[in-house]
């Protein structure tokens, strides 16, 4: 399989390190002030300092209100409005991510330290849900490949397994009557998918810290795959030589596979994938429909990863 690394960014496009660190210190202080005033779970309005990126689509972004109120995040409930309504008690700071398994340098990393080490980029991606709705979202984050380089995967590693946080006292969907899935939520990518330049660890959107309902404080964004691949509130990544299961594949293997590549030629058993409803266009019920593009429009960048594969069998 080909090995992908993030593209080099011209030095002129990167915020000077001293200025970047001073701005991060200022934002950290602002975030702490917001936590003191409003509680840690609501400290999500601090602006991010991000460098530009070539990863943008020439499409109108989905309004922020829709991006932050129409979500799948089952840890906070089953309805699209539940994450925004039920995530106020979730505390995303402080936060660490453990990276272990088949690596030379395993570790547990403080998120704020990673944000200082890796320049935060602005990227506007098309996002497609398996339920046949879509958005265009301006994300802020850093390539997953940057973190993988830091831990130095072994040559025998083939996959990255992801795990989300389990906090039933803060996530009502993880307990009692509302519990719908086995926790923690888990996901996986092939290592070459994880290292692809498009694969992002997002820490913000629209230039602001990632809101709780969108996966605070760090989530996976893989724009050529259906949305259930975008695991949220990540606490662990494990490098392995075995293909990991994902939560929806375990829950309903007839409908959800490992790859989850956007493919308009393969219908979901309960609905067509040939077109999609773009949230935020012409109102909710009148939202315009768009033809679904292979690999969500990113075929030129990623189709080579799957050369020779049966994309109907590997769904």
Residues of the chain with pLDDT under 50: 1-46
- What is the C-alpha to C-alpha distance for residues 48 and 52, in angstroms, rounded to an integer? 12
- What is the C-alpha to C-alpha distance for residues 271 and 132, in angstroms, rounded to an integer? 8
pLDDT at 5: 34
pLDDT at 283: 53
The answer to whether the beta carbons of residues 119 and 9 sit under 8 Å apart is yes
* % of residues, the chain, pLDDT over 90: 77
pLDDT at 178: 56
**What does the pLDDT look like over 132-147, one tens digit per residue?**
999 999 999 999 999 9
What DSSP letter does each residue of 119-171 carry, written as one string? --EEEEEEEE-TTSEEEEEEEEEEEHHHHHHHH-B-TT--EEEEEE---TTT-
Domains and CATH numbers, the chain: 48-306 (3.90.420.10)
Counting runs of H as helices and runs of E as strands, what totals does the chain give? 8, 12
3-state helix, strand, coil in the chain (%, to 5): 30, 25, 50
**What does the pLDDT look like over 164-210, one tens digit per residue?**
999 999 999 999 755 678 999 999 999 999 999 999 999 999 999 99
**What does the pLDDT look like over 30-45, one tens digit per residue?**
333 333 322 333 333 3
pLDDT at 14: 34
Q: Are strands 159-164 and 200-205 parallel, antiparallel or unpaired?
A: unpaired
Strands (E), 14-120: 96-101, 107-110
């Amino acid at each position: 399989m080909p090995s992908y690394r993030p593209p080099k960014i011209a030095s002129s496009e990167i915020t000077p390190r001293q200025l970047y660190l001073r701005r991060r210190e200022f934002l950290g202080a602002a975030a702490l002030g917001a936590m003191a005033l409003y509680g840690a779970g609501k400290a999500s309005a601090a602006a991010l300092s991000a460098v530009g990126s070539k990863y943008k689509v020439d499409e109108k972004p989905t309004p922020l209100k829709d991006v932050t109120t129409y979500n799948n995040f089952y840890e906070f409930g089953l309805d699209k409005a539940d994450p925004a309504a039920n995530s106020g008690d979730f505390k995303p700071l402080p936060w660490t991510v453990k990276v272990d398994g088949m690596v030379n340098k395993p570790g547990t990393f403080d998120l704020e330290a990673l944000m200082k080490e890796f320049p935060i980029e602005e990227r506007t991606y098309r996002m497609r849900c398996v339920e046949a709705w879509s958005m265009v979202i301006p994300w802020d984050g850093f390539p997953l490949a940057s973190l993988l380089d830091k831990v130095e995967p072994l040559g025998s590693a083939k996959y990255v397994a992801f795990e989300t946080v389990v906090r039933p006292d803060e996530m009502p969907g993880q307990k009692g009557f509302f519990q719908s899935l086995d926790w923690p939520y888990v996901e996986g990518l092939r290592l070459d998918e994880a290292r692809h330049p498009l694969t992002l660890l997002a820490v913000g959107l629209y230039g602001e810290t990632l809101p709780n309902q969108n996966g605070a404080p760090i989530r996976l964004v893989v724009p050529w795959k259906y949305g259930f691949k975008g695991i949220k509130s990540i606490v662990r990544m494990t490098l392995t030589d075995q293909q990991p299961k994902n939560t929806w594949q375990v829950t309903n293997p007839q409908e959800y596979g490992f790859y989850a590549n956007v493919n308009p030629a393969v219908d979901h058993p309960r609905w067509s994938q040939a077109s999609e409803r773009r949230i935020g266009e012409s109102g909710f019920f009148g939202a315009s429909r768009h033809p679904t593009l292979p690999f969500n429009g990113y075929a030129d960048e990623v189709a080579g990863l799957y050369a020779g594969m049966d994309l109907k069998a590997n769904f």
